[in-house]
A and B are shown apart, each in its own frame.
Chain A
Amino acid sequence: MRNIRRNPDIIWREEEEAREEALRAMERGGDASGDGTVLLVVSGMMHQLNLLGGEIWKLLDGIDEERLVDTLAMTFDVDRDTLSRDVRDFLIDLDRRGWLVHE
């Protein structure tokens, strides 16, 4: 399986305060998908990723998809199939935007 990395031209930063809040909301069983926990600047445009997207993004430093899902399963309490599907959809979206590099 191929390893996946973030496109190195993309400038990004974790929004620690937003992430902590989203994690707390998730623990309480609330909606954690609102505020961006990772901000990216791509060709002068800003984008934000929600909690799951942000956690995936941070792990993309040369990881294969299976290991990625394993790691996320430690934080996100959802069944494996749903998680795998969400991760796959998200990676397809990132790839389509040109934000990934495959090794």
Chain B
Amino acid sequence: MSRIPFSPITINWTLTFRCNFNCRHCYSRPEKAPELPTEQVKEIMAKVAKYKVPFINYGGGEPLLRSDLFELTEYATGLGFNVSMNTNGFLLTQEKAALAKKSGFKTVGISIDSTRPEVHDDFRNTKGSHKKAVNAAKFLKKQGVRLTISSVICRINHTELEDLVRQARDLGAEQISLHNYKCAGMGFTNKDELDLTPEEWKEFYLSAIALRENATDIRISMDDPITATIHKAPDQAIVKGSTCGKLSLNIRANGDVTPCGFIPVVIGNLLTDDLKDLWDNSNILEKMRNKKPKEKCLTCKHYEDCLGGCTARAYATTGDFNSPDPHCWVAK
């Protein structure tokens, strides 16, 4: 594996844990943390900028619930960050889309999990949410903001992959991000109902990889290390296995830092700690970067590329970073 970059490439930032939705898979519904006021968020942004982190992505909670969202984005853009966000789109009016453009958002990701409105609305527990998400995508396009569609793959949609890609393409998205189902927060509570079996994951990824290879007008992105078993990462892949803690870090609403949004282990707080110090010296990050094979991974020929798969899923289900990914379909 190549060396770890000198600081994160992406900071995933939960500005708020509040949300106007209550989705069945959401990792962050059970999370509670006081929210930092505007000035303190800016203070942290300035500290992070010192280490030339190129990307900030606001995740959820719903970023549009922060009334200072565009002020913060304008500030972050001024510091040199490329800012993006993931939103459910419900509050993204024409006017907000114009503000997204003006404040400097490079990309906005809208969550749409099905082409069938009733399925999406039921999954997201909010009537009319599919229609609003589609409208939000159109408003963004009209303003010239680059669009990504995010879909959380699970029981409700794993067989409608081609339709999901078509829908994203028709909306003018540059990319569709197929997020693997995470057993964190509500995702853990509802995993028996919503998660796929390892065999179903394999089938899904085989179709998705085939589709990706032929897609010329839209990027199909799936950031799941478990695919290393069926598809060799490109030679230039910077790191192997999970990218959390190697290319990215997560900041919570109160400034706490975790390796990723789905691993609730706090390694410091950026109001008081230095980003580079945490990046270089955290024991937790060190453990994630130097995983040790365990159980069936010990004899698996894919270990060098897969590194045990998704560390967050392994940790959520067993409490051990080194356990094999529960989505792994490779036999014992």
Contacts and interface: CB of A to CB of B under 8 A. Distances in A.
Interface of A: 11, 13, 15-18, 34-36, 39, 41, 43-48
A45 B219 CA distance: 10
Given A11-B54, A17-B6, A48-B2, A36 B219 contact: no
B3 A35 contact: yes
A14 to B, nearest CB: 8
26 contacts: A11-B54, A11-B55, A11-B82, A13-B9, A13-B54, A15-B5, A15-B6, A16-B6, A18-B3, A34-B2, A35-B2, A35-B3, A36-B2, A39-B5, A39-B9, A41-B9, A41-B54, A43-B174, A44-B175, A44-B219, A44-B221, A46-B9, A46-B237, A47-B236, A48-B2, A48-B238
Contacts of A44: 175, 219, 221
A103 to B, nearest CB: 24
Contacts of B219: 43-44
B232 interface: no
Contacts of A34: 2
Interface residues of B, number: 18
Nearest to B10: A41
B116 interface: no
Contacts of B54: 11, 13, 41
Q: A-B pairs with the 8 shortest C-beta distances?
A: A17-B6, A46-B238, A35-B3, A47-B236, A11-B54, A13-B52, A35-B2, A15-B6
Contacts of A17: 6
A15 B54 CA distance: 12
Nearest to A49: B236
A45 B247 CA distance: 12
A43 B174 CA distance: 9
